[in-house]
């Protein structure tokens, strides 16, 4: 493997790519939870597969393997991840591997074996490409428009019940409700709410401080 060049993406570029893909394949706003398996199925020459023991063999939940005989990229997910009671882990793993295909096709096309996959994970540039794949995966599973719309819909009822005395409780309830709607983990939604372009955590804090019954 020749891993020398690290693709560079701004956060704005990752958000734009996620929106463009969802608009073209799911409509806008997309139905939630986003059907990540269908997004994979719609990607040309990309297949989704399950492999028992992947985590035990090399400590990873998923990886992409290139199969030159069919010119196919195969997204392989560990069987225990696929069977995990929390479907959110499986969904995010699939989204992250799809993000690697979308962002780093030239790199993952060099992965033919598990040994190649381990070499990729040990590469000095892996941290950056992994971060970008996770960010794109988050934008695909938690689209800005649906998260913002649902937060504005849920907020008034939450403050009506909880009042303005415990902002952290309102935040936690909102994160949990939004996570359930989008079929992601509460921690993934918590991170998404803090990040640009949503920055809903700050908006909620301000609304609570100013005792607003609607979220602007």
Query: Token pair of 135, please?
Result: 């960010």
What's the fold here for domain 11-141? Arc Repressor Mutant, subunit A (1.10.10)
Kindly report the pTM of this predicted structure.
0.95
Which stretches of 57-213 are assigned E, i.e. beta strand?
Answer: 62-67, 72-78
Instruction: Please say whether the beta carbons of 90 and 75 come within 8 A.
Output: no
Query: Is the previous residue joined to 183 through a cis bond, with omega within 30 degrees of 0?
Result: no
Q: Cis peptide leading into 86, omega within 30 of 0?
A: no
Predicted pLDDT of residue 46: 97
The span from the CA of 28 to the CA of 19, in Å, is 8
pLDDT 10s digits, 132-181: 999 999 999 999 999 999 999 999 999 999 999 888 899 999 999 999 99
Q: How high is the pLDDT of residue 202?
A: 93
Q: What is the pLDDT of residues 179-214, one digit of tens each?
A: 999 999 999 999 999 999 999 999 999 999 999 999
The answer to whether 3 and 111 are in contact (CB under 8 A) is no
Contact 215, 161 (CB under 8 A): no
Give percent of the chain with pLDDT exceeding 90.
Answer: 85
């Amino acid at each position: 493997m020749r891993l020398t060049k690290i693709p560079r993406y701004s956060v704005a570029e990752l958000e734009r790519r996620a929106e463009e893909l969802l608009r073209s394949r799911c409509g806008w706003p997309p139905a939630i939870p986003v059907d990540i398996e269908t997004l994979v199925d719609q990607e040309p020459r990309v297949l989704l597969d399950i492999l028992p023991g992947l985590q035990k063999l090399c400590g990873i939940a998923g990886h992409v393997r290139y199969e030159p005989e069919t010119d196919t990229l195969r997204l392989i997910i560990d069987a225990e991840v696929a069977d995990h009671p929390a479907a959110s882990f499986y969904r995010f793993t699939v989204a992250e591997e799809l993000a690697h295909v979308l962002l780093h096709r030239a790199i993952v096309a060099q992965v033919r074996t598990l040994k190649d996959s381990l070499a990729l994970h040990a590469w000095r540039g892996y941290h950056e490409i992994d971060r970008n794949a996770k960010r794109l995966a988050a934008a695909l599973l938690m689209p800005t428009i649906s998260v913002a719309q649902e937060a504005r819909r849920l907020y008034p009822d939450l403050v009506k019940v909880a009042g303005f005395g415990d902002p952290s409780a309102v935040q936690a309830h909102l994160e949990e409700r939004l996570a359930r709607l989008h079929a992601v983990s509460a921690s993934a939604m918590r991170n998404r709410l803090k990040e640009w372009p949503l920055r809903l955590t700050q908006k909620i804090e301000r609304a609570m401080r100013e005792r607003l019954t609607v979220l602007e």
